[in-house]
Structure 1
Amino acid sequence: GTSTTPAKPATGTPSATGAATPSSSATAQNGAVPDALRAATTPATPTGTATAKPATPAPAATTAAPAAPTAAQTEAAIKAQAVKGLTGIGWAQAKADEAATKVAKQYVALNCSTPGAVDKIVDDPDQPIATCGDDRTTKYVLGPSEINGSEIADASSGYQPGPNGQPTSIVEVALSFKDTGRAKFAAVTKRLYGLQSQPPLDQFAVVLDKSVITAPQARAVISDGRASITGSFTIDSAKQLAEQLKFGALPISFALQTQDNITPQLGEEQLRIGLLAGFVGLLLVVVYSLIQYRALGFVTVASLVVASVITYLAVTVLGTTHGFRLTMAGVTGLIVAIGVTADSFIVYFERIRDEVRDGRPLVAAVETGWKRARRTIIAADAVNFIAAGVLYFLASSNVRGFAFTLGLTTLIDLAVVMLFTHPTVQLLARTKFFGGGHKWSGLDPQRLGAKETLRYRGRGQFGSAGAQRPPATVGSARVAEGKAQA
C-alpha cells in the first residue's frame, strides 16, 4: 500500500464558487456527478534538521524520515474518512461501516498506473467506489452519485470577469444546471461548504467513464445553479474540461474553425448599426408601398407593424426561456425578413389589381385574387423556410443565427398575411372609399386600365363594370321606381 498524493498541489485544487456565465452538459457513467469522499493523502515526508550555532562549526543533527504507512494503516485511514462521509449523507452507521470497509480494501488494492485498472472497476452509482483521476496518478474514494450529468445545462471556459465586467487573468470553467439539478446541487454545496475544515470531505467529483476529471472544493453555497470552477487551469485545459462536461467522452477531436474576439463596445456599435439598417430598410418599404399602392399601402404598414411586434415578442420569450441571443447574423436575418414580408403583400395586391383590370367588382376581385396569391405566397415561404432549416442544421454557429431568425420571421409572415392582411383587405373592400374605386385608394379602375364591360344592374339597368360604384340603397331604388310610374 503506497501512499498517493494529489495530481495538483493544494494551491491548485479547483474550487467551485457561485458565479458563472452558463454554457452545456456533463458526464460520467452517463454523466454522474457524485459527492466526493476524496481519499486522504499521506503528508509529505519531511526532513527535519535541528542546527546549533556553536563557536566551532559542527554538523547538524538530523532526524530520520518517518516510515511510510503500512497497507493496514492506509486502509484504516480511508475507512474512517469513508464512514464520516457516508454518515454525513444520511447512511446508517452499520451500513456505512460495511460499505467503507469494502471501499477501503478496493482503494488499497487499486494501482492506477496499471493499464486497464480503471476498466475493471465496477461503478455502482448507489455505492461508494475507489477510482483514479484521469491523470492516472491520484486515487479517490467517491460516495454515491447525487447528480446525473443530464441535469447539467451548459458549460463553458474562458477568463473570469471582474467586478467591472472586464475579463481577468483567472481562467474558469462555468457551468449551469437545469431546474431539476439546481436544487440538488444547492443541497450538495450546502453540505460540503459546511465541511471546509475537514478536507477532503469538502470536495465533489465530476466523473467521466469511471475516472475523476475534476474534484473542486465547495467555496460557497450555490443556490442559483450557476457555478464557476477555478484552479490551476490553462486556457486549453479549461476548454478540454468544458467540452467533457458538455459532450462527455466522444471518439472525436474538435478543431477551431472560426474565432472572433470583440469588445462589448464594438458589439454594441455593430448591433446599433444593424438595427439602424433595419429601420432604414423598413422605411424604404413603407415609402414604396405608399407611392405604389397609395391608401392600400397603409395595409402594408399595419401588417409590418404587427409582424414586428410578434417578432419582438418571440425573440424576447425565446431569450428568457431558451437563452436565445440576437447576434449580428440574427439582425441580418430580421432585415432580410422585411423584404420577404413585403413581397407577400405585393403578390397579394397585384393579384387583386389584375382582377380589377379584368373588370371584376372589388369584393369579387379580393376573393379571386386571394385564391391566386395564396398559392404563390405559401410556395415562396415554404422555399424560404426549407432553406433556413438547411442552413441552421448544416452551417456554423454564426450562420445559424441568421437561419434561425429567417425561419422564424418566415412563419410569422405567413401567419400575418393569412390572419391579418387578407381579413383587413376584405373589410376595406366593403367601404365606400375602396369599394367605390377612389383615385387615392390604389384600386381605381380607370387608373389601373380596367376593361369596360357592361353588366346587368337590375330593373333594366346596365352599367360599366369598370366604373366601380357602391350598391344603390333601397331609398334610391324607390325614387327611381316612382319616376318611372310618373
Structure 2
Amino acid sequence: MAPPTSSQIKPGRTLLVLLAIILAMGATIALQKAFVPKFGLDLAGGTTVTLSPATLDGKPPSDESLDRAVTIIRARVNGNGITDAEVAKANSNIVISLPGVGQREAVARVATTAELRMRQVLAVAAATNQPVQMPTAAPTPSGSGAPSATPTGGSTPTPSVSGTPAGRALSSALAAPSPSATADAKGGAKSDDKAKGDAKGKAEATPTPPVPPPGATEDPLAGADTSGIDPALLDKFRDIDCTAKDRGQGTADDPNKQIVACSQDGTARYILDKAAVQGTEISGASAGTDPTTGEWIVQVTFKSKGATEFADITRRITTLTAPRNQLANVLDGVVVVAPTIEEAIPGGSARISGNFTQLTANDLADQLKYGALPLKFKQSEVVSVSSTLGQDQLRGGLISGAIGLLIVILYLLLYYRGLGLIGVASLGVATVITYSTVVLLSHNAGFRLSLPHIIGLVVSIGITADSFIVYFERIRDEIKEGHRTLRSAVEVAWRRARRTILVADAVMFIAAIVLYFLAVGGVAGFAFAMGLTTLIDIVVVFLFTKPLMSLVARMRFFAKGHKLSGLDAERMGRTSPAEQTLQEA
C-alpha cells in the first residue's frame, strides 16, 4: 500500500488543529466551572445609581465638565464595550446602570476623582499618637544583702534579712529606725547627722524622674527633621488620627501645596511635599503581577514631561536620609504606597504596589488610564432593576434563533441534499465555537450577554451559511464545465471562493468596527457580536468546511454523483463525473 501523500494528510491535520482548539476551550470552561455566560442588564437586572455633582459654590456644573465626567465613567465601567454597562446624563445628574446585583461598591469606585500625585515624604509617624511610657524602677543590686525601696504607691517594702550580724543590724534599722543611730554594713553605728548626710547625697545622685500627667502622648515629630515644612502642617500632623474612619480618603488635594495624608490601610501618617508628578502626565496604566513575588501591581507610564519629572525627583531624593528618600503615590489624598528610592528611575514608567488583588489592581489601572473626574459626586439614588422583561426577551430571542437555524438547515438539506450535510456540520461547529467564546469572554473579560448581542449572533447564522454556499456553488460551476473531477473541482473552486468569502467577511467586519466605535449601548453590543461571529466564520470555513470537503470528495457517494449527493448529473446539467473520477483513482 502506497504511503499517503501530503495532500491527503493536510485536511486531516487541519481538522485536528480545529479539534484541539475546541477541546482547549472546553477544558478551560470545565476548569473554571463557567458553563453559562453572564447576562447583561436587560436579561439579568442590576443596579441603577444616580450621581449628583457636588460643587463648592453650590451652582450647577458646566455642561462641558458633565460631558467629560460621563465619558470617563463610561470608559471605566465599559471601556471595552462588552460589559453592557450604561452611563447617561440626566439634566445635571449622571445615571449609571450596571448589570448584576450588589454593584454599589463598584459605582463608588468609579465616582472617585482618581487623581494620582507623586510626592516626596518629609515626615512619617504612626497612625495615632502613642502614650508616654511611665518610668520604671532601677533593678535591685544583688550580692550585698542591702535592700532597695521603690516609691510606688507610698508604701515601704519589708527588707529581706541577711544571715550575717551586719545584715541583721541593717534590717533592724530599716524596719524600726532609731533617731540616735543607724546600723552600717560593718555592724557598727553611724551618728544621726551622718546618716542624714548620706541619705541626702544619695537623693542628689539619683533624682526621681517626674511623673507625666494622665493622658500625655509622645510628640510624633520628636527628633524628626522639620526643615522646609509648612509650620501650619506640624500641628495638623500631630492632631490627625489615621485610624479614624473619617481620615479623609477620597478627597482631592492641591498639587501646589504640602499636605498631611494617611496611608490607605490606616497604619501611618505623612507630611508630603508639593506634587513632583501629577496624574495629568500619565499616558497609560495596566494591572499585572510581579514576576518575582507574584503580587498584583499597577504599571504606570508617563508622557514626556511626566517622565522627565519622575526621573528628576527620583534622582534628587535618592541620596537623602529616611524618610525623605521615600516617594509617596497619593490617590485622592490617600497614600497608596511610599517606597524608598534607592536610585534614579528614568524611562518614563513607574510601578505601584500595595497589597492589591486582581480586582483592585484592575480598578485602579482603569481609573488612572481613563483619567480623573472633573467633579466630585455623591450618590443621590440607588434603584434595583428587575429582569422579568429581560427573561421574556431572552426566551423570544432564543426561540427566534432556533427557528432561523432550523429554516437554514432545511433549506440546505432540500437544495444541496448530501452536500447540505457539510453545511449543517459547519453550522454546528460554528455554534460550538461561538458559545464557548461567549462563555470564556464572559468569565474572563467582563462580557455580558444582552439582547443586542443575541440579535447579532442570530444574524450571524446567515453570514456563516453564506460563506459555504459560495463555496458549494463554485464547486458545482467547476463540475458543470465538464473538464474537472470532483477532487480537482474542490481545490480550484476553493481558490476562487476564498477570495469572495474574505472580501464579504471583510466588508461585514469593517461595518462592525465602525458601529462599535461610533455607537454606544445596544448598538455597540450588536456590532461586537457581529464582528465576533464574522471572525468565527472565517475560522470555520478555513479549518473545517474546506478540509472536510476535501475528504468527502474522495468518497464514491459524492465522486460518482449519487442522486442524493447534490452533485448528480441531472442537477449538474451534464454527464456524471464518475468515469473521470475512477480514472483519476
Q: TM-score, normalised by structure 1?
A: 0.51
Q: Which residue of 1 aligns with 2:477?
A: 354
Q: Which residue of 1 aligns with 2:562?
A: 438
* Distance in 1 between residues matched to 2:357 and 2:256, nearest whole Å: 37
Relative contact order: is structure 1 or structure 2 higher (C-alpha 8 Å, sep ≥ 6)? Answer: 2
| 1:273-327 alpha-carbon deviations (Å, 9 max, x no partner) | 2222222211111111111100111111111111111112212222222111111
* Distance in 1 between residues matched to 2:331 and 2:536, nearest whole Å: 45
Matched, 1:380 2:507: no
Q: Which residue of 1 aligns with 2:456?
A: 333
The 8 Å contact of residues 288 and 297 in structure 2, kept in 1 or not, is answered as no
Matched, 1:275 2:386: no
Q: CA RMSD in A?
A: 5.2
* Distance in 2 between residues matched to 1:31 and 1:332, nearest whole Å: 47
The 8 Å contact of residues 457 and 533 in structure 2, kept in 1 or not, is answered as yes
* Distance in 2 between residues matched to 1:184 and 1:374, nearest whole Å: 46
Residue number among 120, 143, 154 corresponding to 2:256 in the alignment? 120
Matched, 1:363 2:490: no
Matched, 1:323 2:446: yes
Q: Which residue of 1 aligns with 2:114?
A: 27
The 8 Å contact of residues 453 and 526 in structure 2, kept in 1 or not, is answered as yes
User: Could you tell me which amino acid in structure 2 is paired with residue 319 of structure 1?
Assistant: S
Q: 1:20 to 1:226 in 2, by over 3 A?
A: farther
Alignment map for 1:281-292 (pairs within 5 Å): 281-292=404-415
Q: How many residue pairs end up in the alignment? A: 311
Q: 1:244 to 1:415 in 2, by over 3 A?
A: closer
Task: Report the structure number with the largest CA radius of gyration.
Answer: 2
Matched, 1:345 2:468: yes
Post-superposition shift, 1:384?
0.8
Matched position secondary structure for 1:388: helix
Residue number among 539, 550, 553 corresponding to 1:426 in the alignment? 550
* Distance in 2 between residues matched to 1:341 and 1:443, nearest whole Å: 22
| 1:215-268 alpha-carbon deviations (Å, 9 max, x no partner) | xxxxxxx986668xxxxxxxxxxxxxxx988843356999xxxxx985122223
Q: 1:37 to 1:275 in 2, by over 3 A?
A: farther
Matched position secondary structure for 1:120: coil
* Distance in 2 between residues matched to 1:284 and 1:402, nearest whole Å: 22
* Distance in 1 between residues matched to 2:219 and 2:563, nearest whole Å: 95
Gaps of 5+ in 1: 1-6, 8-16, 41-76, 84-92, 111-116, 123-128, 133-139, 155-176, 186-204, 214-221, 228-242, 255-259, 453-464, 475-486
Q: TM-score, normalised by structure 2?
A: 0.43
Give the percent of matched residue pairs that are identical in Structure 1 and Structure 2: 43
Q: Which residue of 2 aligns with 1:413?
A: 537
* Distance in 1 between residues matched to 2:401 and 2:498, nearest whole Å: 27
| 1:1-42 alpha-carbon deviations (Å, 9 max, x no partner) | xxxxxx9xxxxxxxxx9984577597223599x9x99999xx
* Distance in 1 between residues matched to 2:357 and 2:559, nearest whole Å: 61
Post-superposition shift, 1:269?
2.6
User: Could you tell me which amino acid in structure 1 is paired with residue 485 of structure 2?
Assistant: P
The 8 Å contact of residues 113 and 373 in structure 2, kept in 1 or not, is answered as no
* Distance in 1 between residues matched to 2:118 and 2:407, nearest whole Å: 53
Q: 1:328 to 1:27 in 2, by over 3 A?
A: same
Matched position secondary structure for 1:471: helix
User: Could you tell me which amino acid in structure 2 is paired with residue 375 of structure 1?
Assistant: R
* Distance in 2 between residues matched to 1:18 and 1:378, nearest whole Å: 42
The 8 Å contact of residues 78 and 104 in structure 1, kept in 2 or not, is answered as no
Matched position secondary structure for 2:417: helix
| 1:358-401 alpha-carbon deviations (Å, 9 max, x no partner) | 11321121112111111100000111111111111111132221
* Distance in 2 between residues matched to 1:331 and 1:307, nearest whole Å: 15
Gaps of 5+ in 2: 1-55, 57-101, 129-215, 238-252, 263-268, 299-328, 336-354, 361-365, 378-382
User: Could you tell me which amino acid in structure 1 is paired with residue 447 of structure 2?
Assistant: F
Q: 1:225 to 1:375 in 2, by over 3 A?
A: closer
Matched position secondary structure for 1:118: coil
